Structure 1
Amino acid sequence: MTPVSSLILAVTLALGLATCAMAQDSPAGPGHEVIALWPKGPPGAERATAREEVVERSKDPAIIRDRIIKGVTHPTLIAFRPQYPNGSALLMAPGGGYAWVVMDKEGYEAAERFARAGVTVFVMTYRLPQEGWSAGPAAPLQDAQRAMRLIRAHAAEYAVDPKRVGVIGFSAGGHVAGVLTLKFDQAGYPAVDAADLATARPDFSVLMYPVATMAAPHAHPGSRRNLLGAAPAPAAIAEWSLETNARPDAPPTFLVHAVDDASVPVENSLQLFEALRARKVPVEMHLFEEGGHGFGLRFTVGKPAAAWPDLVLAWMQRRGYLGGG
């Protein structure tokens, strides 16, 4: 690339961020920028059937919000800037069984918690694979790759160290985060702008009660159906199961699960832990006797599982991701 070409790309990139950071307040509240992942629309939309809709599930939104997004057509990042940034960043993928994206319980609430600890958090909405996107099950991976590259490309603007950018995902969002962790270098989409020159590899990965395997008997049926269809072939099951994609150069990984999880069995994390350990990937796992599925922050009150954010932050600190050592 010539110096002139590099300059043109850099200018284009700067203008692109200014365009995609929306002026209006985000659904997370005033002061949070909303950044479009794909300024000209996501790839492979020719046959997409998605119609974006925000649904409030709470019976009393004045007390507690419980919003989900269905039919994501314009994937975004919502930025949570800490008052005192420590240079660390998290790309956050909420869950929803690949049927929708759970934004409050597994997005904004956790983002606020980590932002209070100095971590800059980007909560992601991502496309749902069963809605006609040409990439099929790879559509969420495209969004996650693009999100990670955008964060790195604009790290300086958010006081972020581009070498301390991790990913955290919950439930099916844990699968999104896990696929990014293990398929970060898979060719996903044609380059959009200079941001796509950045690596999509997370520096570290936190998987919260993740949907990991697509294989019976421990697969989460809804997530597998929405990702791969009603009767996936063995090759597809292997391709999209995290434990069968473990690799020696995967980033350090932190797993959290409740043993009494009746939706996504704890074997999802156990199998992935063993697969990563066998390949000598640094991996830490915390299992809680009780907690069920989808506990986020709000359903851990009074339970040992309430410690999970502090455990994650302590691990990040030990590994130098918070700027210490």
Structure 2
Amino acid sequence: MKKSIILSFIMLISVATSFSQETIVPLWLNQVPNQQITDEVELVESTGIIRISKVQNPTIEVFLPAKNNATGQAALICPGGGYGILAYDWEGTDIAKWLNSKGIAAFVLKYRLPDSKSVIESYKAPLQDAIRALRTIRYNAKKYNIHKSQIGVMGFSAGGHLASTLGTHFNEVMYTPSDRIDQESARPDFMALIYPVISMQNGVTHNGSKNHLLGKDANAELIDKFSNELQVTTDTPPTFLIHASDDKAVPVQNSMLMYSSLIKNSVSTEMHIYPKGGHGFSFGHKQGHVNSWTDLFCTWINNLEE
């Protein structure tokens, strides 16, 4: 009897352990680059959606489908929030759970925000975290049951700017390599940009995102550098674009300029522009037929060539 109880207890511990795999993974094992010690504290608020600001410890949150459902594809998700906050569930964890239902592994990026007092050079921090995150996922591909050549990035609004920055600046040296993770490529294998900020140019950009990322007095060189429609090359990954014509926050011209540059550089691209939907619609459940974008994305990614 005692042996039976002990055996059952051991089995319970084993099952619990299998379900308690690390889901929050710190990106930086030692010192976070481009960061200084301050009295700033990370802030998490929940008022309809979870908003995170003043990020101090960048992480990825891991969401994996059942092994038998897994396609081998994966997406690094960059939530939006104007580079001032992260809409962490609205454009992050909720999206990850949906991707899992399609057999796609998902990793929600909690990236540093450029106006944090702890960040030294504002515009570098989000991209540093995105590069490290993509490399971390690729380094652990076997552990996560994904293919190294099928790891993309998905971004919403300002997160779409970060995603497109990763897709056009992945070869830049943004920090000093420190371990084997940093030997991995940071190039995403695809980009999904959902109502994205793309350009930093006046008249097209989202001023809030621009001011947070680059500052109000950014010079022309920095503005051009982070206007990602100007940074597309033939090595930019295949891209999926979604936008609404009536977007009053991030003009639809952002996606249109990106699409034009991608086509010019012979990059495989698909774009869908809806007449209505506004901005920040996430799944678009209450925004009419804009909610069909998720089906369009699934069709697109299922037909991507490896």
Same fold (TM over 0.5): yes
Question: Where do residues 12-51 of structure 1 align in structure 2 (5 Å cutoff)?
Answer: 33-46=23-36, 50-51=40-41
Q: Do the aligned partners of 1:209 and 1:256 also contact (CA within 8 Å) in 2?
A: yes
SS of residue in 2 equivalent to 1:275: helix
Instruction: Could you tell me which runs of 5 or more consecutive residues in structure 2 were left unpaired when the two chains were aligned.
Output: 1-16
| 1:103 counterpart (78, 83, 88) | 88
Tell me how far 1:49 sits from its aligned partner.
6.7
C-alpha deviations, 1:248-281, integer Å up to 9, x for none? 1101011000111000000010011111111111
| 1:117 counterpart (64, 84, 102) | 102
Q: Do the aligned partners of 2:55 and 2:116 also contact (CA within 8 Å) in 1?
A: no
1:69 aligned residue: 52
| 2:245 counterpart (259, 262, 265) | 259
Tell me how far 1:51 sits from its aligned partner.
2.3
Tell me how far 1:123 sits from its aligned partner.
0.4
| 2:161 counterpart (172, 175, 186) | 175
Partner Cα separation in structure 1 for residue 239 and residue 173 of structure 2: 23
2:115 aligned residue: 130
SS of residue in 2 equivalent to 1:301: coil
Give the counterpart letter for 1:255 in structure 2: L
Partner Cα separation in structure 1 for residue 268 and residue 181 of structure 2: 28
- Structure 1 residue 276 and structure 2 residue 259: aligned? no
C-alpha deviations, 1:29-50, integer Å up to 9, x for none? x877000011224212126674
RMSD: 1.7
Partner Cα separation in structure 1 for residue 24 and residue 222 of structure 2: 34
Tell me how far 1:302 sits from its aligned partner.
5.9
2:304 aligned residue: 319
Give the counterpart letter for 1:76 in structure 2: T
Question: Where do residues 163-242 of structure 1 align in structure 2 (5 Å cutoff)?
Answer: 163-242=149-228
| 1:81 counterpart (60, 64, 84) | 64
SS of residue in 1 equivalent to 2:240: strand
Structure 1 residues 93 and 302, CA gap change in structure 2 (3 angstroms): closer
Structure 1 residues 48 and 200, CA gap change in structure 2 (3 angstroms): farther
2:78 aligned residue: 93
Q: Do the aligned partners of 1:41 and 1:74 also contact (CA within 8 Å) in 2?
A: no
Report the count of equivalent residues. Answer: 286
1:3 aligned residue: none
Partner Cα separation in structure 2 for residue 311 and residue 32 of structure 1: 32
Q: Do the aligned partners of 1:49 and 1:131 also contact (CA within 8 Å) in 2?
A: no
Q: Do the aligned partners of 2:277 and 2:287 also contact (CA within 8 Å) in 1?
A: no
Partner Cα separation in structure 1 for residue 87 and residue 51 of structure 2: 5
Q: Do the aligned partners of 1:182 and 1:250 also contact (CA within 8 Å) in 2?
A: yes
Give the counterpart letter for 1:72 in structure 2: V
Partner Cα separation in structure 1 for residue 239 and residue 26 of structure 2: 27
1:153 aligned residue: 139
Tell me how far 1:104 sits from its aligned partner.
1.0
Structure 1 residues 302 and 68, CA gap change in structure 2 (3 angstroms): closer
Partner Cα separation in structure 1 for residue 38 and residue 99 of structure 2: 34
Give the counterpart letter for 2:108 in structure 1: V
Tell me how far 1:57 sits from its aligned partner.
1.5
TM-score, length basis structure 2: 0.90
Superposed structure 1 runs of 4+ greater than 4 Å apart = 47-50
Instruction: Could you tell me which runs of 5 or more consecutive residues in structure 1 were left unpaired when the two chains were aligned.
Output: 1-22, 59-65
SS of residue in 2 equivalent to 1:136: coil
- Higher Rg: 2
C-alpha deviations, 1:147-199, integer Å up to 9, x for none? 00000000000100010000000000001100000000100111121111100
- Percent identity of the aligned residues? 37
Partner Cα separation in structure 1 for residue 62 and residue 279 of structure 2: 26
1:57 aligned residue: 47
Partner Cα separation in structure 2 for residue 248 and residue 103 of structure 1: 32
Q: Do the aligned partners of 1:51 and 1:70 also contact (CA within 8 Å) in 2?
A: no
1:15 aligned residue: none
TM-score, length basis structure 1: 0.84
- Structure 1 residue 305 and structure 2 residue 290: aligned? yes
SS of residue in 2 equivalent to 1:46: coil
